[in-house]
Structure 1
Amino acid sequence: MTKEMLVQISGCKLYAKLIGHNNGKATIVMDAGYGDYSKAWESVINEVSMLSDVFIYDRAGLGKSESSSNRRTSREMVKELNGLLNEAEIKPPYILVGHSFGGVNTRLYATEYHTEVCGLILVDSTPENYRERFLPTMPEELQQAYNNQFVYEGNYDEFIESLNQLKEARRKLNVPLIVLSAGKKAHYSEESQVLWNEMQKEILGISSNGKFIIAENSAHYIQNDEPEIIVSAIKAMIDNI
């Protein structure tokens, strides 16, 4: 079953798609990276939908969704996702899967709506201390390129505000957590790669039930380079709850 929808939430309509067979298990809600939308999950969506219902969507201003006048910070996006799930009548509990900046959103969602979330999978997600701890280890031109990318969805200040929101909200979560780290990042020195994996592993500290996996042959888009790792993680999560 595939159901596409354009759902009115406060201030705009968001595009979403529900795929699956309604087998009574938790719905998997997937959130893409900065400037990405639901298409980012195409490489895994069919296999994942065999495990349970999957809900993918386009954040405001991306893909087929309308723009929102709300600020483009994580906290606003999390409110919009919550409104979307409610309006679309997608009942909790949810297993949240967040890639890159989507990991910031899903972590914040799991904190703010903790009664609705039964599992969290972070796919090479952005650590909250990325700017001060990791970015300075990169060559100057890569730092500049990173800063210049914030034109699709929110500006650089809103992105940094989102990381600060995550820092302020950080607390222990009572949900199973799987952290997937890309082990073959493009343009990373050996030192930067080691630091990246280390910072990813530290995210495990937000849960008392965490598992860390390095996708050894993946760059940032693990879902494209080693899709089977994403599918296996989701299957393990479903079996674990």
Structure 2
Amino acid sequence: MPTMMPRILAAGLGVSAVALAAGATYQAAATRRDRRLIPGAGSHVDVGGRTLRVHTTGLAEQPGPTVVFESGMATPLELWAWIQDGVGAFAPTVSYDRAGIGRSAPGPLPRTAERSSDDLAAALDAVGARPPYVLVAHSYGGLLVRHFAERHPEQVAGLVLADVAHPEELVRSQRQRVGLPFVEQYLRDSMWQSTIGMIRLNPYSDRRFRIEGLPEPARRAAKAAFSTRQMWHGSYAEFVAWQTDVNAEVRDAKLPPQCRLYVLTAGATVTGDPVHLQLQEELAQLSDDAVHEIVDGVEHIELVTHQEPAARVVAAVRSVVQAVREQRPLHPADRQSEKDR
């Protein structure tokens, strides 16, 4: 019996290697098929020898300011579908996939806030977007828009921060610190599973990525993006840079003078982590012209992917856009008037 063990092990390894190779082949073919049949919204623009996918609406038709969307970590631009459609009814809009995310080509490492800001500036220039900008961010994207606003103060008239990250949350929130290894494992698992086609074969992937609330065809395009190996390698690169570079780059970032600021906080996030509320209140203090609204009972990702809470984000953007157009401060009364609509 002992003499058979090496043969059995060798046979098992051989079968595993064949299965992995078959999975990788299937993944590559399915990714090519998705790129052909499910291209997603937008088109590709050149940003210095690389391409970023950018989706715009109303750049030539709608009056400014231009509303620019910055996604959270590991999320393609389709997650803005409800909000970009809503805002597009009254303002020009731009959403995009950062380098290595969704359908954008990878960029140089590490993925610092400075490199992300340079990419966004190049993408806005490539599509002919006109400042002033109102920057709308979710989650990790909040760090990046703060950096962009400090780098380009003359171009930024307002920010809408939808349950965004704080540069000190990993230091001050025990819940965030405890959860960090689980986030890393999730990203590593997703890299591995996407390599051999397991993600696209998972019948519950919509729920896994919390995209079941998106409208069609955005949901289908988002699912295709989440199924790619590139998506997870790009997301892991941002996860690493978040800790090594981005938090430090943004920690002391200042907003431009007279910048309107609207902070929305997901109520369920506060329930799970009271420190999160303290951090969100600090973000609202970045400007003397700010509104802070807690969206009760809403989860972090649902704030952008589900229609009803997404409408609250649209209302906040409308308040900031109107204040910019009328060249007046953003008044707390705006919040109530928008909620009553």
Q: TM-score, normalized by length of structure 2?
A: 0.64
Structure 1: runs of 5 or more not aligned: none
SS for the counterpart of 2:130 is: coil
Q: Which residue identity is paired with 1:130?
A: E
For residue 223 of structure 1, the aligned residue among 304, 323, 335 is 304
> Shift of the alpha carbon at 1:45?
2.0
SS in 1 for 2:111: coil
CA RMSD of aligned residues (A): 2.0
Of structures 1 and 2, the larger Rg is shown by: 2
Aligned twin of 1:65: 104
Provide the secondary structure at the position in 1 that maps to 2:318. helix
Tell whether 2:69 aligns with 1:30. Answer: yes
- Within 5 Å, give how 1:15-94 maps onto structure 2: 15-20=53-58, 22-94=61-133
Greater strand share, structure number? 1
Which AA in structure 1 matches 2:281?
Answer: K
The reply to whether residue 201 of structure 1 matches residue 281 of structure 2 is yes
Distance 1:69 1:11, change over 3 A: farther
Counterpart in the other structure of 1:9 = 47
Q: What does residue 180 of structure 1 align with?
A: 264
Contact 2:44 2:54 in 1 (8 A): yes
Task: State the one-letter code of the partner of 1:223.
Answer: V
Q: Which residue of 1 aligns with 2:320?
A: 237
Cα distance in 1, alignment partners of residues 134 and 151 from structure 2: 15
Q: Distance in 1 between matches of 2:238 and 2:124?
A: 26
Query: Alignment partner of 2:268: what SS?
Result: coil
In structure 1, give the amino acid aligned to 2:242.
Answer: F
Cα distance in structure 1, aligned partners of 2:110 and 2:141: 16
Give the % identical residues: 21
Change (3 A) 1:116 1:172: closer
Contact kept in structure 2, 1:97 and 1:120, CA below 8 Å = yes
* Aligned residues of 2:160 and 2:316 also touching (Cα < 8 A): yes
What SS does structure 1 have at the residue aligned with 2:131?
coil
Q: 1:162 aligns with which of 219, 243, 246?
A: 246
Hey, what's the Cα distance between the residues in 1 that align with 2:181 and 2:86?
A: 37
Q: Tell me the secondary structure at the aligned position of residue 236 of structure 1.
A: helix
SS of corresponding position for 2:82? coil
The separation in 1 between residues aligned to 2:261 and 2:123, in whole angstroms, is 24
**CA-to-aligned-CA distance 1:91-133 (integer Å, 9 cap, x gap):** 1111100110111111111111010111101111000101100
Does structure 2 conserve the Cα–Cα contact (< 8 Å) formed by 1:11 and 1:68?
no
Q: 1:103 to 1:138 in 2, by over 3 A?
A: closer
- Write the letter of the residue equivalent to 2:305: N
Please list, as runs of the form range in 1=range in 2, the aligned pairs for 1:117-128 lying within 5 A after superposition: 117-128=156-167
Unaligned runs of 5+ in 2: 1-40, 189-231, 325-341
* Aligned pairs (5 A) from 1:125-140: 125-134=164-173, 136-137=174-175, 140=178
**1 or 2, which has the higher helix percentage?**
2
Q: Which residue of 1 aligns with 2:22?
A: none
CA contact (8 A) 1:29 1:56 kept: yes
Relative distance call for 1:208 and 1:68 in structure 2 (3 A) is same
Offset, 1:11: 3.7
CA contact (8 A) 1:93 1:118 kept: yes
Residue aligned with 1:23, SS: coil
Structure 1 pair 55/144, CA: closer, same or farther in 2 (3 Å)?
Answer: same
Residue 205 of structure 1 and its aligned partner are, at CA, apart by 2.0
How many angstroms apart in 2 are the aligned matches of 1:35 and 1:157? Answer: 12
> CA 1:70–1:22 in 2, change beyond 3 Å: closer, same or farther?
farther
| Structure 1 contact 173–208 (Cα < 8 Å) conserved | no
Q: Deviations over 1:197-223 (max 9, x none)?
A: 121011122111111010112111212
**Matched residue type, 1:216:** D
Structure 1 segments (4+ residues) deviating >6 Å: none
2:183: which partner in 1?
A: 146
Give the SS at the match of 1:131.
helix
Report the alpha carbon displacement of residue 155 of structure 1 after superposing the two structures with TM.
5.0
